[in-house]
Structure 1
Amino acid sequence: MGTTARRVILALCASSSGAAGLQIPFLSPTSQTPVQVANDTKPLINSTAIQELISGERLMVRAKKMFEIAKLGESEYNHPTRVIGSAGHLGTLNYIYETILQLGDYYTISNQSFPAVSGNVYESRLVLGNHVSKSAAPMGLTPPTKDKQPVHGDVVLVKNDGCAYSDYPAEVAGNIAFILRGTCPFGTKSEHAGRAGAVAAIVYNYEKDNVQGTLGNPSPFHVATFGLSGEEAEPIIKKLKNKDRVDAIAYIDAEVKSILTVNIIAQTTQGDPDNCVMLGGHSDSVAEGPGINDDGTGTMSLLEVATQLTKFSVNNCVRFAWWAGEEEGLLGSDYYIYSLPAVENKKIRLFMDYDMMASPNFAYQIYNATNAVNPTGSEELRDLYIDWYTKQGLNYTFIPFDGRSDYDGFIRNGVPGGGIATGAEGIKTKKEEKMFGGKAGEWYDPCYHQLCDNVGNVNEKAWVVNTKLIAHSVATYARSFKGFPKRSSLTASSIYDRQTKYHGSKLFI
């Protein structure tokens, strides 16, 4: 381990064990801009040449290394994990930092520390009437029930969709609020329920499906909150509207705490610093597993492309980012882009998101970003992916650009964006089975957010293909932005705001 890298990881470990603050220097967005360095000894970046340097063997070596790092989390979590705040995540940060450090002066490295909220649910149960709920799921960042013990009360139907405090009848006090999903954030509903005196809250879906949501930024008025499927809610609603009593027992043992964590940014010292190609993946996993596909594969693809890029010169600067806290709600990428001054924001010509590159039951997925809804240039990036897959003779499919990964903050701040993926908990269709192989009717990643997301959970073929495409995307724009639209805005369109109901992997509305 290099001396500088050792200082970084020791500072991180000190902060996580209760030190006064993170010792890593915060580099402002302005100071992250490097001085342009002349380099006439390397050939100008060429897409074909850098793609040829990508190999499955090198990627799999990185995957095995990442799994060993995840094992550092075993002492605290009893299984491998790279969740923020864990030794596994600290080890991941060290691995990223030291890998870039070993590439010499090709990159400048900056470490952006920021406060993050971490939430864990250890145990939960919801009993409605005389049966244990099958669909009830605690909201992300929910507080526990009082004293981490079961609470009892009647289920009280809230008016409308619970977005106004006046929707909560007096009967909610001391009981369990039953709230329709819709219109406003789940956190707002939970906060209103808490202010009204509820001992717990249940947000039920207007569709038959379950609700996997998050309360977002913690509030002292949040109460223990579950999501419930519309199918399970339907008979309860009928009883409540008929004035029949439904009692319930709610129990959540959870913890919500604030920690400090780190984004790592690496930028080429060469290339026009006023026209940057930016790409990122997230360095953390969920607490439940090691996260080798999600998003170890994106993390490692970026490291491999950053490594191979050093063999070339570039005309435009390239900025790699490894975000922390994605699984907690896109915390790192949000912190970065929202703290960036407007003049620095405009230097980012586009942002490319690479999250889950090697799902075992994969489909080659392209975010369906259009200029009609997203910042101008997003559609041109989408078309670059289409053209590449087409030229390789590969099928592809479109997926919604719906806020589920780290591109969201960039789109909301006017940066053109897009990306590719291979699928998470979605179910592969018969048509996709014909297009990509694999098994219809099963998740793209059967180990999504689970302990089995280990080295055996990556499809090497898909990973190599997509890492080559990442290299192609970098090479294309590092060489030239000819024909790519100029930056025109610092905000998202109202259409994107209205349509986007995810902020990370969980619904927030």
Structure 2
Amino acid sequence: MEASRSCLVTISILIGLFVLISIALNSIILIIITRGSNQLKNINNTEELKLINQISLNLSLIESIDINELMKHLQEFNHIATMENGSRSINTKGFKRTIDYIADYLSTNTNYYIKRTPFSVRQFKLGNNPILFTSIANTIINRTYSNDLSKGEFSHVEYSTDINLKDFINITLIPNFGCSEKDWLTAKPSPNGRIALVKHGACDFFLKPILASHYHVKGLLLYNISRSSNCNDSLPTSLGPFNTLPTLSISSNLAQELIESLNNSATNTGVRFIIDVLKTEPYSVENICADTPIGDITQTIIIGSHSDSILNGPGINDNGSGSAANLALAVALFRTSMYRNLKYRIRFCWWGAEELGLIGSFVYVTQATTSIIIGERFHDHLLYLNLDMLASPNYMFGIYDLDTIINGTLTKNIFASKKITTLFRNWFNDQNLPWDNVNLTTAISDYLPFLIGNMPVGGVFSGADGIKTKEQCDRYASYLGPDPYCMPNIAFDQCYHKSCDTIWNINKFAYEKLTKAIAYALEYFIHMDNLKEWLYSVEENQNLTSHYKK
């Protein structure tokens, strides 16, 4: 028994040792297999990463534009507006969160140099409601003031200057729309020292006071006459803080009354008004610019878009669409192979306070004009591309048409800008896409300060409150096929400057195409050996021809 037990114990020990050794060996084998598997996984991940990077590097800038990425940014802007009382206007949390999002996204996804530049904007506030008296055939009437012209006869315009006229001042009716020097020169009698009655339309609202100031006008009355019942809706509500003239908007009925009186030479027609504007403390707004660390800083291509909305709307098309496109372009460029060998510095900018009168872009141009820092001087810039409203629901493929700029008034540098216009036209032709010219006297945006400073400019635009015609719908259908959503005789964007300009106010097809058009132009410029020479070469200009495809 003892021998048997001893033998059994010995066998048990041997079995135990065998089990332990087996477990140990299995553990070692498992570790080896696991390590090998992890090594293979790491190898696969590395190869996959290389492949992804290679695919990204091989893409052109235009191929890198993804509508899903564009919409992701718009959804974020829409969320910001929703959380901040429906607005991304300057001096609101919505604006601050918008520019923080842009700056943070750039910091996370690029190695660009990011600069946030604050500037001050003065607030506009009335001390009292304005007063307007009219004198027609010696009959004096105290007109009714209201913020809503459908309920009153006149209204204030933000950033009007103050005035207290003690006597009645005669009125001069400005012919046409007051958008050209000729309109003011041919006005009878001369508007010098008088109140100018000016019709709204044909050019942006803040251009009219600029021209009026050349003729020493005492003040402005802006009006709109239309068969539409809401013709007063399109009258400007703000002239921007650079305005220097006292200004009121008047109803179409009052305008017709004054015009009829002015057309009767036997009737003496004048007005007297009081506008009490308080002096208020300014508030701070920011521009953001992001520079590629590669490229000649004395040869800068700048792409800009405004980052603010109106006070009473989220501004997802105007101009979340431009801001998001600018952001997507910036990141897409960083991911492409051409980024490693940039000849020119690329600067992406987001302007503040555009909705108050292009203030952010004017501040930038003013600072660049006076700068002595190499790379920041105005002549260190080659050209400017503008992104504003790229996704209107009832869209057009609009291209900035430099032939519509008032000759001799705004710029001496139309020539090079027309080449950029032609470049866009040729791209749309090559893509077999329709396009329309954009009249720059009616589509004022942040390109204007650069154009005034004699920098070549260009851009694309999907339309705002202008009306899409049946001819456009038919012509677009001949290229793209029937579009049941094309609405003739309706605005390109019925939610322009309204609270309904939300994420649902976006045409994805138009948005992607217009963003790709900008990407094409930028890539075209990047590959130029001598961009400045191309811009100003007469021979090159003669070789660039384009026209509507029939």
Aligned partner letter, 2:157: M
What pairs up with 1:447-462 in 2 under 5 angstroms? 447-462=495-510
- Kindly provide the CA deviation profile for residues 420-457 of structure 1, in whole angstroms up to 9, marking residues without a partner as x: 00000100011111233411111101000000000000
What pairs up with 1:462-481 in 2 under 5 angstroms? 462-481=510-529
User: What SS does structure 2 have at the residue aligned with 1:69?
Assistant: helix
1:395 aligns with 2:434: yes
- Identity over the aligned pairs, expressed in percent? 24
Aligned partner letter, 2:325: S
Q: Decide whether the 8 Å contact of 2:305 with 2:351 is kept in 1.
A: yes
Partner of 1:369: 402
Q: Decide whether the 8 Å contact of 2:258 with 2:269 is kept in 1.
A: no
- How has the CA–CA distance of structure 1 residues 120 and 130 changed in structure 2, closer, same or farther, with 3 Å as cutoff? closer
Of 88, 113, 118, the residue aligned with 1:82 is: 88
Distance in 2, Cα, partners of 1:233 & 1:446: 26
1:286 aligns with 2:310: yes
Distance in 2, Cα, partners of 1:83 & 1:356: 16
1:419 aligns with 2:442: no
- How has the CA–CA distance of structure 1 residues 426 and 180 changed in structure 2, closer, same or farther, with 3 Å as cutoff? closer
Distance in 2, Cα, partners of 1:244 & 1:285: 44
Q: Decide whether the 8 Å contact of 2:156 with 2:248 is kept in 1.
A: yes
- Kindly provide the CA deviation profile for residues 224-246 of structure 1, in whole angstroms up to 9, marking residues without a partner as x: 622555x7523324346544789
1:352 aligns with 2:358: no
Partner of 2:332: 308
- Kindly provide the CA deviation profile for residues 85-113 of structure 1, in whole angstroms up to 9, marking residues without a partner as x: 111111111011101111242x1011111
Unaligned runs of 5+ in 1: 1-40, 75-79, 169-176, 195-200, 489-509
Partner of 1:225: 248
Aligned partner letter, 2:75: K
- How has the CA–CA distance of structure 1 residues 255 and 291 changed in structure 2, closer, same or farther, with 3 Å as cutoff? farther
Distance in 2, Cα, partners of 1:322 & 1:454: 20
Q: Decide whether the 8 Å contact of 1:285 with 1:294 is kept in 2.
A: yes
User: What SS does structure 2 have at the residue aligned with 1:475?
Assistant: helix
Q: Decide whether the 8 Å contact of 1:140 with 1:216 is kept in 2.
A: yes
Of 216, 219, 234, the residue aligned with 2:256 is: 234
User: What SS does structure 2 have at the residue aligned with 1:358?
Assistant: coil
- How has the CA–CA distance of structure 1 residues 269 and 444 changed in structure 2, closer, same or farther, with 3 Å as cutoff? same
How far did 1:202 drift?
Answer: 2.8
- How has the CA–CA distance of structure 1 residues 190 and 454 changed in structure 2, closer, same or farther, with 3 Å as cutoff? farther
Q: Decide whether the 8 Å contact of 1:346 with 1:487 is kept in 2.
A: no
CA RMSD after TM alignment:
4.2
Distance in 2, Cα, partners of 1:256 & 1:112: 22
Query: Greater shift after overlay, 364-373 or 426-435?
Result: 364-373
Of 366, 370, 386, the residue aligned with 1:338 is: 366
- How has the CA–CA distance of structure 1 residues 456 and 155 changed in structure 2, closer, same or farther, with 3 Å as cutoff? farther
Partner of 2:120: 115
Q: Decide whether the 8 Å contact of 1:283 with 1:299 is kept in 2.
A: yes
Distance in 2, Cα, partners of 1:274 & 1:44: 32
- Kindly provide the CA deviation profile for residues 184-203 of structure 1, in whole angstroms up to 9, marking residues without a partner as x: 53884999658xxxxxx634
Q: Which structure exhibits the higher relative contact order, with contacts defined as CA atoms closer than 8 Å and separated by 6 or more residues?
A: 1
TM-score (norm: length of structure 1): 0.70
Q: Decide whether the 8 Å contact of 1:119 with 1:328 is kept in 2.
A: no
How far did 1:139 drift?
Answer: 2.6
- How has the CA–CA distance of structure 1 residues 465 and 422 changed in structure 2, closer, same or farther, with 3 Å as cutoff? same
- How has the CA–CA distance of structure 1 residues 213 and 256 changed in structure 2, closer, same or farther, with 3 Å as cutoff? farther
User: What SS does structure 2 have at the residue aligned with 1:480?
Assistant: coil
Q: Decide whether the 8 Å contact of 2:171 with 2:270 is kept in 1.
A: no
- How has the CA–CA distance of structure 1 residues 58 and 254 changed in structure 2, closer, same or farther, with 3 Å as cutoff? farther
Partner of 2:494: 446
The structure whose Rg is larger is 2
- Kindly provide the CA deviation profile for residues 244-299 of structure 1, in whole angstroms up to 9, marking residues without a partner as x: 78999999999976221111000111122222221110000111201000010000
Partner of 2:288: 264
- How has the CA–CA distance of structure 1 residues 225 and 156 changed in structure 2, closer, same or farther, with 3 Å as cutoff? same
Aligned partner letter, 2:221: I
Distance in 1, Cα, partners of 2:277 & 2:82: 25
Partner of 1:297: 321
Q: Please identify which structure carries the higher helix content.
A: 2
How far did 1:390 drift?
Answer: 1.2
Q: Decide whether the 8 Å contact of 1:117 with 1:328 is kept in 2.
A: no
- How has the CA–CA distance of structure 1 residues 180 and 481 changed in structure 2, closer, same or farther, with 3 Å as cutoff? same
- How has the CA–CA distance of structure 1 residues 252 and 224 changed in structure 2, closer, same or farther, with 3 Å as cutoff? farther
- How has the CA–CA distance of structure 1 residues 70 and 123 changed in structure 2, closer, same or farther, with 3 Å as cutoff? farther
User: What SS does structure 2 have at the residue aligned with 1:51?
Assistant: coil
Partner of 1:68: 79
Distance in 2, Cα, partners of 1:45 & 1:275: 26
Distance in 2, Cα, partners of 1:461 & 1:160: 44
- Kindly provide the CA deviation profile for residues 367-401 of structure 1, in whole angstroms up to 9, marking residues without a partner as x: 01259863442122112211211111110010123
How far did 1:63 drift?
Answer: 1.2
Partner of 1:167: 193
User: What SS does structure 1 have at the residue aligned with 2:115?
Assistant: strand
Aligned partner letter, 1:226: S
How far did 1:123 drift?
Answer: 9.2
Q: Decide whether the 8 Å contact of 1:119 with 1:256 is kept in 2.
A: yes
- How has the CA–CA distance of structure 1 residues 218 and 356 changed in structure 2, closer, same or farther, with 3 Å as cutoff? closer
- How has the CA–CA distance of structure 1 residues 253 and 320 changed in structure 2, closer, same or farther, with 3 Å as cutoff? same
Distance in 1, Cα, partners of 2:499 & 2:415: 40
Distance in 1, Cα, partners of 2:266 & 2:106: 65
User: What SS does structure 2 have at the residue aligned with 1:82?
Assistant: coil
